[in-house]
């Protein structure tokens, strides 16, 4: 094992960094080639800036030495093209005279790491190259550490996700109504979000938020969850605690930070008469307003112990009536449109769960 480790270390020390030089004067390329091939760097020299751009697209280079005054493209134009597909290449600009260098704001905008005046002696250039390689090594090490941390965090978050998923299944075991409810709310929410033109990242939050929106029911007594008769005022007050309980449960892991507003506020009303915070209008998180519509629809169209599923026309009329009071009017209107014109998608979700 010690020998294998030593071989790895030796291999790491033998890594050659690749440098590409771009200058339309062949004499400069030849001089740099002779100079840099005495070092431990792998060197490629190109006189055509357009060819250089294509080469960098195909091959990996760690550092580029780039002449500024070239034809058919100046150095800053070359960098402009390269930065469209490569943000990491370390670039040192070479100028015949410092007065010919591009403005400082251009150097900053294009993320050019430095520039150097051309000279018969390459001592200053070598120092800049060595400094650049040290920076590259540091950035690679930082990236390696970040990748390892990200991998570790993903494993921790996956473990926590699985734990909360187990809690969700426990809630469903306690409350027969909840079984399938969260899955349908999740899919209805995504359907509404898609019709609203939301980006994929927000659709993902809606999907996960819908799955876990009732997780707080784990803290509600079974006697209340499983009661067939009408709830007393005290029992209903207990039920109204589940959004806050859910937000508290999920608050321990950063993976859930984006869905907590859904979990906590999916029972708020647009007129401010909801719970737990009494938020109104646009003060209610937008994705929570979407989930509220999906949640209410599933509650109305699911069979309960004390009533059958409500008639579809009655449900439509209720959403129409409650626009601007219980529901965000724009979201309610979009959902009514789905019920009128895309109800087959609703049926697919209902048949699925």
* pLDDT tens per residue, range 111-158: 888 878 877 778 888 888 988 888 888 888 878 887 887 787 777 777
Q: Please pick, among 121, 217, 230, 257, the residue that the annotation labels catalytic.
A: 217
Per-residue pLDDT of 183-242, as tens digits, reads 999 999 999 999 999 999 999 999 999 998 998 888 888 888 878 778 888 888 888 999
Residue 238's region, left for phi above 0, alpha for psi from -120 to 50, else beta, is alpha
Give percent above pLDDT 90 in the chain.
50
Domains of the chain: 14-129 (3.40.50.2300), 174-352 (1.10.3210.10)
pTM of the entire predicted model: 0.58
The pLDDT of residue 292 is: 98
Q: How far apart are CA 315 and CA 296, in angstroms?
A: 10
The beta strands (E) that lie in the chain are given as: 18-22, 42-46, 63-67, 90-95, 114-117
The pLDDT of residue 4 is: 41
Q: How far apart are CA 183 and CA 312, in angstroms?
A: 20
For the chain, what percentages of helix, strand and coil (3-state, to nearest 5) are there?
60, 10, 30
Q: How far apart are CA 305 and CA 217, in angstroms?
A: 18
346-to-178, 233, 294 alpha-carbon distances in Å: 18, 33, 11
Phi, psi of 217 (to 5 degrees): -65, -10
Per-residue pLDDT of 43-52, as tens digits, reads 999 999 999 9
Mean pLDDT (whole number) for 329-334: 97
Look over the chain and give the mean of its residue pLDDT values, rounded to a whole number: 86
Q: How far apart are CA 270 and CA 213, in angstroms?
A: 18
DSSP structure class, residue 223: H
Q: How far apart are CA 262 and CA 83, in angstroms?
A: 39
Find the Cα–Cα–Cα–Cα dihedral 84, 89, 90, 93, rounded to 10°: -50
217 is annotated as an active-site residue:
yes
């Amino acid at each position: 094992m010690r020998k294998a480790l030593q071989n790895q270390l030796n291999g790491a020390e033998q890594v050659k960094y690749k440098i590409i030089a771009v200058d339309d004067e062949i004499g400069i390329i030849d001089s740099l080639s002779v100079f840099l091939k005495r070092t431990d760097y792998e060197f490629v020299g190109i006189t055509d800036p357009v060819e250089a751009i294509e080469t960098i697209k195909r091959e990996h280079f760690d550092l580029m030495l780039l002449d500024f005054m070239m034809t058919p493209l100046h150095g800053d134009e070359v960098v402009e093209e390269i930065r469209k597909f490569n943000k990491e290449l370390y670039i040192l600009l070479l100028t015949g005279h410092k007065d010919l260098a591009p403005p400082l704001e251009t150097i900053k905008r294009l993320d050019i790491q430095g520039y150097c005046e051309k000279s018969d002696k390459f001592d200053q250039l070598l120092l800049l190259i060595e400094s650049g390689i040290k920076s590259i090594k540091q950035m690679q090490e930082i990236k390696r550490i970040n990748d390892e941390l990200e991998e570790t965090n993903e494993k921790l978050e996956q473990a926590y996700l699985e734990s909360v998923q187990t809690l969700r299944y426990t809630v469903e075991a306690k409350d027969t109504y909840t079984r399938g409810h969260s899955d349908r709310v999740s899919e209805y929410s995504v359907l509404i979000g898609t019709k609203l033109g939301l980006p994929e990242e927000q659709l993902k939050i809606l999907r996960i938020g819908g799955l876990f929106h009732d997780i707080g029911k784990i803290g509600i007594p079974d006697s209340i969850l499983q009661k067939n008769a009408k709830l007393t005022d005290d029992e209903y007050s207990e039920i109204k605690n589940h959004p806050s309980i859910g937000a508290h449960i999920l608050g321990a892991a950063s993976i859930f930070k984006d869905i907590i507003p859904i979990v906590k506020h999916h029972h708020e009303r647009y007129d401010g008469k909801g719970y737990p915070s009494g938020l109104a209008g646009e003060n209610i998180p937008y994705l929570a307003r979407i989930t509220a519509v999906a949640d209410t629809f599933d509650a109305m169209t699911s069979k309960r112990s004390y009533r059958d599923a409500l008639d579809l026309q009655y449900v439509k009329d209720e959403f129409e009536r409650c626009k601007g009071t219980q529901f965000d009017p724009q979201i309610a209107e979009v959902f009514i449109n789905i019920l009128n014109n895309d109800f087959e998608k609703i049926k697919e979700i209902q048949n699925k769960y």
